[in-house]
């Protein structure tokens, strides 16, 4: 039986996505063996992130500065905006290195089942960004799920009379597929072959 402290650490790690009690125990043992190197590094990295973590007030990305690194990057195409459900989707798309514009994180998807309404998502701030002008293309990069597509449809309707070109990711995304789980090649293909929203 491990000490209370070790049990607490194991339980905390076991809650991480992709980990369970078994992997958590293995990770804890691994860290204990490397107390002076890996454990210290992990503690310092966690503390540093905890100190500096902020949500970007422009796009909703999570970063260590506000506005985030993407919003502040002058090399980014200011005229293209990619709308995603979650920060994880933003990171997944950005890893594919094909979309050079900026992002807008909705913070979820419309869902009658979970009671998520338009006012629960960052849709007003999206409309405000587009209202400010200077944006030519809005890429609706919702997940290929029913709720994702409902959300995309809702936003497309809201933007109907705005002077922006609406595009969406190409099919080839697996139906029911979540962006975060796709490999970069599939994502890159979906961005490259993006098509107008009809
Ligand atoms: Zn940002």
pLDDT at residue 23 tops 80: yes
- Cα of 55 from ligand 1 centre, angstroms: 8
- Cα of 76 from ligand 1 centre, angstroms: 11
pLDDT at residue 60 tops 80: yes
Mean pLDDT of 128-133: 93
- Cα of 8 from ligand 1 centre, angstroms: 34
* Predicted local distance difference test score (pLDDT) of residue 189: 72
Q: How many angstroms separate the CA atoms of 156 and 161, rounded? A: 10
DSSP 81-134: EEEESSHHHHHHHHHTT---SEEEE-SS--BTTTTB-GGGTTHHHHHHHHHTS-
- Cα of 190 from ligand 1 centre, angstroms: 23
- Cα of 123 from ligand 1 centre, angstroms: 15
* Predicted local distance difference test score (pLDDT) of residue 84: 97
* Predicted local distance difference test score (pLDDT) of residue 193: 75
* Predicted local distance difference test score (pLDDT) of residue 153: 94
- Cα of 46 from ligand 1 centre, angstroms: 22
* Predicted local distance difference test score (pLDDT) of residue 174: 65
* Predicted local distance difference test score (pLDDT) of residue 196: 81
* Predicted local distance difference test score (pLDDT) of residue 191: 80
150 C-beta neighbours (distance < 10 Å), count: 15
- Cα of 70 from ligand 1 centre, angstroms: 6
Tens digit of pLDDT for each residue in 145-191? Answer: 889 999 999 999 999 999 999 998 876 666 666 777 777 777 777 78
* Predicted local distance difference test score (pLDDT) of residue 109: 95
Mean pLDDT of 71-80: 96
Cβ pair 63, 49 in contact under 8 A: no
Q: Which residue has the higher pLDDT, 192 or 57?
A: 57
* Predicted local distance difference test score (pLDDT) of residue 188: 77
The bridge status of strand 137-140 relative to strand 80-84 is parallel
Confidence label for 17 from pLDDT (cuts 50, 70 and 90): confident
Which residue(s) pair with 63 in the sheet?
A: 54
- Cα of 26 from ligand 1 centre, angstroms: 36
pTM, rounded to two decimals? 0.76
Q: How many angstroms separate the CA atoms of 148 and 168, rounded? A: 12
Reduced to 3 states (helix: H, G, I; strand: E, B; else coil), residue 164 is coil
Q: How many angstroms separate the CA atoms of 58 and 21, rounded? A: 38
Residues 6+ apart with CB under 8 A from 188: 96, 97, 98
């Amino acid at each position: 039986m491990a000490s209370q402290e070790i049990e607490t650490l194991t339980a905390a790690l076991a809650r991480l996505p992709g980990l369970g009690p078994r992997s958590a125990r293995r990770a804890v043992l691994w860290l204990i063996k490397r107390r002076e190197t890996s454990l210290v590094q992990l503690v310092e990295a966690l503390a540093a992130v905890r100190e500096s973590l902020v949500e970007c007030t422009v796009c909703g990305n999570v970063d260590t500065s506000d506005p985030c690194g993407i919003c502040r990057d002058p090399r980014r195409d200011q005229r293209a905006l990619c709308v995603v459900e979650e920060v994880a989707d933003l990171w997944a798309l950005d890893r594919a290195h094909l979309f050079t514009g900026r992002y807008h994180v909705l913070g979820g998807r419309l869902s009658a089942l979970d009671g998520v309404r338009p006012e629960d998502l960052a849709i007003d701030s999206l409309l405000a960004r587009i209202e400010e002008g200077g944006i030519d293309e809005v890429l609706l990069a919702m997940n290929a799920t029913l709720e994702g597509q409902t959300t995309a449809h809702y936003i497309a309707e809201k933007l109907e009379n705005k002077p922006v070109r609406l595009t969406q990711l190409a099919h080839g995304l697996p139906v029911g597929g979540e962006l975060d789980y796709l490999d970069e090649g599939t994502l890159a293909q979906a961005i490259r072959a993006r098509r107008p929203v009809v």
